[in-house]
Amino acid sequence: MDYVLYEQKDAIGIITINREKALNALNSQVLDELNEAFDAVDLNTVRCLILTGAGEKSFVAGADIGEMSTLTKAEGESFGKKGNDVFRKIETFPIPVIAAINGFALGGGCEISMSCDIRICSENAMFGQPEVGLGITPGFGGTQRLARLVGAGMAKQLIYTARNIKADEAYRIGLVNDVIKATVDEAGNITVSAKDNLMAAAEKMAGTIAKNAPIAVRNCKKAINDGLEADMDKAIVIEEKLFGDCFETEDQKAGMGNFLKKKDDPTKVKVVDFKNC
């Protein structure tokens, strides 16, 4: 693949959008390669994914404006569908996906981060949906996911004004869960970049998730996602089924057995080797 890199570290997969010269803008090829990269993830061994962008400046600076500039109405709609199909694949991917946002997350960049389960960003990150300034609407799910994440009023303000916001404001409105700073020594010199600290934080979080029972984690993702699309009466039934689905698994037996064993012998260290079955 030209524009997407994949690396696996133990049970963590890292997908990097690697089109740094164009600030990782999403053209059709990047979208196709992202689709392929997600399809190729080995779900038997990977328990959590991290999605990030190459370089220190940009996560994803949006859909490719050059490519979009000559599209007809029908082509515009089908380009929107191409992006939406990939982003929906990310959103419904069986295991959690953490967006590690290392700089600009504009337009399609903000949108792809919102299709991930969790967003954390570096202190230099900038978010926005600048589309109305380009004569278009957000087209990869921004009108839908931003409103669901930060509320309709704030989403409408950001989308109608096309105003970019910095990391601290994104944190304040609940668009990101954490903002990661560079490490600075007493003289004010950067000793570890914000990007390196961001990736370390993302890997630490992914590692914590990967240690938990994989079937349970997957079922939690599905319960939250599917439940949010249903009314409460249906939503709790969705949970009941996914809760029930965990029973009789090796992971449930190991997890509960470990707790009960600890009660007999408090010196037992809580390390459960979950098998994903």
Q: Assess 3 for contact with ligand CAA (CB under 6 A).
A: no
| Count of residues that interact with ligand CAA, criterion CB under 6 A | 22
Q: Which stretch binds ligand CAA (CB under 6 A): 105-113, 194-202, 236-244, 263-271?
A: 105-113
Q: Give 144's contacts (C-beta < 8 A, 6+ positions apart).
A: none
Query: Judged by CB, which is closer to ligand CAA: 134, or 149?
Result: 134
Considering only 21-29, 167-175, 208-216, 254-262, which stretch makes contact with ligand CAA by CB under 6 A? 21-29
Q: Which residue type occupies 42? A: D
Residue 142 found at the interface with ligand CAA (CB under 6 A): yes
What's the closest the beta carbon of residue 83 comes to ligand CAA, in angstroms?
6
86 binds ligand CAA (CB under 6 A): no
The letter for the amino acid at 108 is G
Told to check if 23 binds ligand CAA by CB under 6 A, we report yes
Q: Which residue, among 42, 19, 47, 32, has the nearest Cα to 210 in the 3D structure?
A: 47
Query: Measuring CA to CA, which residue among 30, 58, 31, 47 is closest to residue 121?
Result: 58
What beta strand segments (E) does 185-248 contain? 190-192
**65 forms part of the interface with ligand CAA (CB under 6 A):** yes
Q: How far is the CB of 53 from ligand CAA (least distance, A)?
A: 12
**Binding flag, residue 127, ligand CAA (CB under 6 A):** no
**113 near ligand CAA (CB under 6 A):** no
Q: Torsion-angle region of residue 248: left (phi > 0), alpha (psi -120 to 50) or beta? A: left
CA dihedral 40, 30, 134, 138 (to 10 degrees): -10
- Out of 3, 38, 87, 104, point to the residue binding ligand CAA (CB under 6 A): 104
CB atoms within 10 A of CB 188: 6
Rounded to whole angstroms, the Cα distance separating 50 from 47 reads: 10
Tokens linked to 115: 């299709």
Site residues for ligand CAA, 189-248, by CB under 6 A, read none
Q: Which of 36, 67, 91, 111 is catalytic?
A: 111
* Residue 221: CB minimum distance to ligand CAA, A: 24
The pair of three-digit structure tokens given for residue 165, joined into one six-digit string: 């916001």
* Residue 113 to residue 117: CA distance in whole angstroms: 8
CB of 98 to ligand CAA, least distance (A): 21
Cβ–Cβ under 8 Å, residues 276 and 44: yes
Q: Choose which of 1, 134, 236, 272 interacts with ligand CAA (CB under 6 A).
A: 134
* 198 φ, ψ (degrees, to nearest 5): -60, -45
Contact between 274 and ligand CAA per CB under 6 A: no
The residues annotated as belonging to the active site are 111, 131
- Residues near ligand CAA (CB under 6 A): 22-23, 25, 61-66, 83, 104, 106-108, 111, 130-131, 134, 138-140, 142
